[in-house]
């Protein structure tokens, strides 16, 4: 059997689907320039087509037809040489189908393989989110803004060719920079993209991550029942209604917290999360009424607390809130837990409000955010800024 190489690309649902598809296709076409064979494909499922649910695309490359066929016989590669993460908030773990709970982003990476992350953060910061594993690996960062677009549009900000340049450096057995440049010249016909790929090849570097290094958090998981343990007939498990709960300070019971599915957590879909100023909340109910996932709890004092295990980060609550800066969406990379904000506010109001002020300063203005556009052409306007940041590295 010849040499088989596999690359997986982890991306955010429809927002990065075209980008991931282009990268895996381009990997195969660049490998063709070295006489190799390959195929690219996405993992089947309904979930990746919606919202920001984590999804995966794959490219497998071999130096002969028989080896490629053996690789294609697998439903998906069990081990990969390189994992590419297109959104650094996915470093917290992925839940592609909600079948297994949360999984570490490098779960399929071979020992000694390379994890490539698109991010403006440095390695120590990313390792606060990336979970520990028993085998060592290499971590490399392609410096840049996370490239989000939408279902029918594509944000052509050179992220695709920059990733190719980084892969050529990380995995020279796959293809050389020369083959990448030849592919770009022949297929994409862009000298600017050749320059971008070359620049990232030249400056891409990795750090060695030792066994046991990283986020010590125990990932959410559960065991699926075997066929002998499944419920009989056509019965569907009912969901309790929920009810009031206690104030952590006064112990007074009030408000309302619905009972939510204990197995399906939506926080892995989130690139941003709402932070709430409870001292300015007017209790207008608009966030609670308009949240598509019923993620808000009615607190005992009548304000509204986002349940961050259920929140998917859509930002509708911020849009409908009539009070300035009462609800603000902040990038998910700023947080490392899903604790109740209202409980923290009740325990120490002054400390919470000071934290809130500092945190809101990190929020990107709504009209400049890259994870959604508000008028036609906004993505195109963002490309020059993204390219400038990419050049600076």
- Tell me the pLDDT tens digit for each residue of 249-264: 999 999 999 998 877 7
Same domain (yes/no): 255, 115: no
- pLDDT score, position 73: 84
Nearest residue to 263 via CA among 225, 291, 206:
225
376/214: higher pLDDT: 214
CA-CA distance, 238 to 59, in Å (whole number)? Answer: 42
- Dihedrals phi, psi of 341, to nearest 5 degrees: -70, -40
Which residue segment(s) compose the domain that 283 sits in? Answer: 245-262+272-368
- pLDDT score, position 50: 66
**Residue 120 token pair:** 């403006």
CA-CA distance, 156 to 142, in Å (whole number)? Answer: 16
β-strands 80-85, 109-119: how paired? parallel
CATH number of the domain where residue 177 is located:
3.40.920.10
Q: Is 276 left (phi over 0), alpha (psi -120 to 50) or beta?
A: beta
Nearest residue to 338 via CA among 231, 220, 197, 208:
220
Cβ neighbours of 309 (radius 10 Å): 17
CA-CA distance, 93 to 107, in Å (whole number)? Answer: 9
Q: Which residues contact 65 (CB under 8 A, 6 or more apart)?
A: 37
Same domain (yes/no): 156, 49: yes
Burial of 129 (0-12, 13-18, 19+ CB in 10 A): buried
Number of domains in the chain: 2
> What share of the chain has pLDDT > 90, as a percent?
69
pLDDT averaged over every residue in the chain: 90
Let me know: does 138 contact 83? Beta carbons within 8 Å: no
267/233: higher pLDDT: 267
- Tell whether the model's pLDDT for residue 135 goes beyond 90: yes
Same domain (yes/no): 56, 195: yes
Same domain (yes/no): 213, 301: no
Buried-exposed string 71-93: b where 16+ CB fall within 10 A, e elsewhere: beeeeebeebbbbbbbbbbbbbb
Same domain (yes/no): 303, 354: yes
- pLDDT score, position 45: 53
Is residue 362 classed as helix, strand or coil in its secondary structure? coil
Q: How confident is the model at residue 370 (pLDDT cuts 50, 70, 90)?
A: confident
Q: How confident is the model at residue 97 (pLDDT cuts 50, 70, 90)?
A: low
Q: pLDDT of 191-212, one tens digit each?
A: 999 999 999 999 999 999 999 9
Same domain (yes/no): 154, 38: yes
CATH number of the domain where residue 277 is located:
3.30.70.20
Same domain (yes/no): 169, 21: yes
- pLDDT score, position 382: 87
Q: Which residues contact 134 (CB under 8 A, 6 or more apart)?
A: 211, 212
Q: What is the mean pLDDT of residues 333-349?
A: 94
Same domain (yes/no): 27, 111: yes
- pLDDT score, position 1: 66
Same domain (yes/no): 51, 106: yes
């Amino acid at each position: 059997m010849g040499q088989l190489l596999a690359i997986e690309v982890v991306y955010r649902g429809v927002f990065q689907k075209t980008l991931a598809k282009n990268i895996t296709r381009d990997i195969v076409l660049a490998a063709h320039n070295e006489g190799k064979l390959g195929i690219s494909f996405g993992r089947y499922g309904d979930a990746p087509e919606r919202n920001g649910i984590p999804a995966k695309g794959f490219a497998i490359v071999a130096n002969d037809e028989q080896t490629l066929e053996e690789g294609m016989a697998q439903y998906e590669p069990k081990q990969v040489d390189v994992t590419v993460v297109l959104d650094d908030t996915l470093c917290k773990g992925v839940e592609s189908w909600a079948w297994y709970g949360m999984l570490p982003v490098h779960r399929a990476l071979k020992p000694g393989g390379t994890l490539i992350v698109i991010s403006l953060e440095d390695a120590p910061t990313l390792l606060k989110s990336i979970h520990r594993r028993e085998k060592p690996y290499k971590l490399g960062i392609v410096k840049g803004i996370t490239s989000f677009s939408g279902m029918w549009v594509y944000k052509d900000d050179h992220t695709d060719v920059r990733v190719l340049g980084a892969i050529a450096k990380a995995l020279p057995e796959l293809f050389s920079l020369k083959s990448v440049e030849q592919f770009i010249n022949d297929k994409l016909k862009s000298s600017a993209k050749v320059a971008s790929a070359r620049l990232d090849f030249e400056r891409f570097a990795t750090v060695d991550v030792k066994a046991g290094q990283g986020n010590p958090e125990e990932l959410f998981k559960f065991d699926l029942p075997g066929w002998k343990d499944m419920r009989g007939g056509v019965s569907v498990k009912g969901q309790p209604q929920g009810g009031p709960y206690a104030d952590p300070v006064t112990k007074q019971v009030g408000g309302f917290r619905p009972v939510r599915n204990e197995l399906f957590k939506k926080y892995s879909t989130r690139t941003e999360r709402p932070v709430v100023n409870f001292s300015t909340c007017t209790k207008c109910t608009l966030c609670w009424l308009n949240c598509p996932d019923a993620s808000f709890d009615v607190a005992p004092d009548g304000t509204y607390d986002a349940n961050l295990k259920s929140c998917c980060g859509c930002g509708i609550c911020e849009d409908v809130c009539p009070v300035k800066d009462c609800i603000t969406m902040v990038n998910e990379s700023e947080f490392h837990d899903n604790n109740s904000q209202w409980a923290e506010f009740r325990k120490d109001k002054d400390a919470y409000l000071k934290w809130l002020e500092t945190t809101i300063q990190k929020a990107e203005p709504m009209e400049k955010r890259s994870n959604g556009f508000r008028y036609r052409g906004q993505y195109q306007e963002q490309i020059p800024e993204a390219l400038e940041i990419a050049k600076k590295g």
